[in-house]
């Protein structure tokens, strides 16, 4: 039933974007989709079966976003699902290294430049079990600052991939990371139990929340009014509470509208490299702080215990999960996968 896309034609993207947060800012998708010329109208009526996109992000570098992406993908593949991994950490790609793929024959530079291969042809086999990887490129530095239209094309192609997709995003609050995180069906945050990770986690969370709120401000046609008030208040630091405060002062139920726009954003949370019960408990604490202070509901899906064999595997170019399938960390990832699948399915039912 899946619509097989040809090279660079309008892939299921424009139609598939209906009903969910769209990529980036700018134009909002129209309420009623107009069939694109050259695209069969029937495909628009019955929305093609989409592959669920899970995006892994979280601000701080070194928390284990890439490890979690690779390990989740490995467990999903072992579970019998067709899984595609996309390394969207364009500036510092190493998902392939975590999977023991030392020199991928094709990578995303082949997708973006030159002959511009379709994403499906860029995928390389990794770790058996039907796991495929779109590797980041060590060849092109310009990938680090990817233009908006290129990201958009990647997203269209990702949507058309058959099977489950996991996107590993880069550290920091660059729009690239935020946008991939934002459009995914299941955003997943990875943090460690230390103040530096928490600091970056909340910064990232607020950046994503602000992007959603600003989009809604634009939809409501309030940009001018909001920026006028913001300047009148002496340009306080941009934050979710300050923006909501301005909306409240505007009256007219705008604050409620903004909160409603934020409501569907409920990322999952994983605490990685835990070294005891206190670290595991921290996940529950963060859920409360995010709700109370940032108006964002997190869904804590589990903790992964620290395992120094992760680094050992890395140095020997071995994928961790298939090398140590019975390790506590691999089993923890399996339990997390169960929770994520459950959540993914319940979100799908809601739509």
Partner 1 sequence: MRPRGRARTPFEVLDLPPDATAEEIQDAYLLLVSTYGENSYATYTVLSDRERKKILQQVEKAYQTLKHLRRTSDASQAEEEEAAAEVEPPALQSPVQPPPRRGRRWAWLSSLLAFLRVERSPDPNGHPLGSEVTRQLAGSYRLSAGQYLKNVRTHKGLSLDAIARSTRISVQHLQALEEDDLEELPSGSYRRMMLSSYARTLGLSSEALLQDLPEQRA
**Total chain residues near partner 1 (CB under 8 A):** 42
Which residues fall within 8 angstroms of residue 16, CB to CB, at 6 or more apart? Answer: 47, 48, 50, 159, 160
CB 82 within 8 A of CB 123: no
Q: Does 286 bind partner 1 (CB under 8 A)?
A: yes
Binding mask 302-321 toward partner 1 (x if CB under 8 A, else -) reads xx-x----------------
Which tokens sit at 75? 């467990």
Q: Could you tell me if 250 and 229 are in contact, meaning their C-beta atoms sit under 8 angstroms apart? A: yes
Report the nearest approach of partner 1 to the CB of residue 57 (Å). Answer: 18
Best CA proximity match to 170, nearest among 206, 212, 136, 207: 136
> Is residue 209 involved in binding partner 1 (CB under 8 A)?
no
Window 243-282: residues binding partner 1 (CB under 8 A): 244, 248, 255-256, 259, 277-278, 280-282
Residue from 171, 172, 137, 130 nearest 154 by CA: 137
Counting contacts by CB under 8 A, is residue 285 touching partner 1?
yes
Which residue from 148, 295, 306, 344 is in contact with partner 1, where contact means CB under 8 A? 295
Residues 30-59 that bind partner 1 (CB under 8 A): none
CB-CB neighbours of 171 under 10 Å: 20
163 binds partner 1 (CB under 8 A): no
Task: Report, in Å, the least distance between residue 288 CB and partner 1.
Answer: 5
Instruction: Tell me: does residue 188 bind partner 1 (CB under 8 A).
Output: no
CB 263 within 8 A of CB 181: no
Least separation, in Å, of the C-beta of 280 and partner 1?
Answer: 4
Q: Segment near partner 1 (CB under 8 A), from 117-125, 134-142, 175-183, 325-333?
A: 325-333
Find the angle CA(343)-CA(264)-CA(346) to the nearest 5 degrees.
20
Residue ranges in 68-87 that form contacts with partner 1 under rule CB under 8 A: 78
Cβ proximity to partner 1, 26 vs 195, nearer residue: 195
Whichever of 233 and 278 has its CB closer to partner 1, that residue is 278
Residues 145 and 142: their CA atoms lie apart, in Å, by 6
CA nearest 167: which of 61, 52, 59, 81?
A: 52
DSSP letter at 56? E
Instruction: Give residues in contact with partner 1 (CB under 8 A).
Output: 78, 194-195, 198-199, 202-203, 240-241, 244, 248, 255-256, 259, 277-278, 280-286, 288-289, 291-295, 300, 302-303, 305, 325-328, 331-332, 334-335
């Amino acid at each position: 039933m899946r619509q097989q896309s040809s090279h660079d034609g309008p892939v299921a993207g424009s139609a598939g974007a209906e009903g969910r947060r769209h990529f980036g800012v700018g134009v909002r998708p129209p309420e009623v989709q107009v069939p694109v010329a050259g695209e069969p109208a029937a495909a628009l009526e019955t929305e093609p079966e989409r592959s669920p996109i899970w995006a892994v992000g979280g601000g701080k570098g070194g928390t284990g976003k890439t490890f979690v992406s690779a390990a989740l993908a490995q467990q999903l593949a072992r579970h019998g699902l067709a899984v595609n991994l996309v390394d969207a950490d364009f500036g510092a790609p190493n998902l392939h290294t975590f999977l023991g793929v030392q020199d991928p024959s094709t990578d995303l530079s082949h997708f973006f430049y030159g002959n511009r291969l379709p994403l499906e042809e860029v995928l390389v086999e990794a770790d058996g079990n039907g796991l495929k990887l779109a590797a980041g490129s060590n060849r092109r530095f310009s990938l680090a600052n990817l233009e908006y239209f290129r990201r958009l094309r990647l997203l269209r192609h990702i949507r058309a991939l058959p099977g489950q997709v996991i996107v590993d995003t880069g550290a920091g609050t660059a729009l690239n990371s935020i946008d991939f995180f934002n459009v995914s069906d299941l955003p997943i945050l990875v943090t460690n139990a230390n103040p530096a990770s928490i600091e970056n986690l909340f910064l990232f969370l607020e950046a994503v929340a602000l992007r959603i709120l600003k989009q809604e401000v634009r939809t409501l046609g309030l940009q001018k009014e909001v920026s006028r008030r913001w300047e009148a208040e002496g340009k306080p630091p941009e934050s979710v509470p300050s923006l909501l405060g301005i909306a409240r002062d505007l009256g007219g139920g705008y604050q409620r509208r903004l909160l409603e726009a934020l409501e569907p954003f409920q990322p999952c949370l994983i605490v990685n490299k835990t070294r005891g019960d206190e670290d595991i408990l921290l996940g529950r604490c963060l859920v409360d702080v995010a709700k109370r202070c940032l108006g964002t509901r997190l869904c804590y899906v589990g903790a992964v215990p620290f395992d120094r064999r992760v680094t050992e595997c890395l140095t020997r170019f071995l994928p961790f999960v298939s090398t140590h399938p019975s390790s506590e960390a691999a089993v923890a990832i399996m339990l997390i996968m169960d929770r994520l699948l459950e959540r993914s399915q319940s979100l799908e039912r809601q739509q």
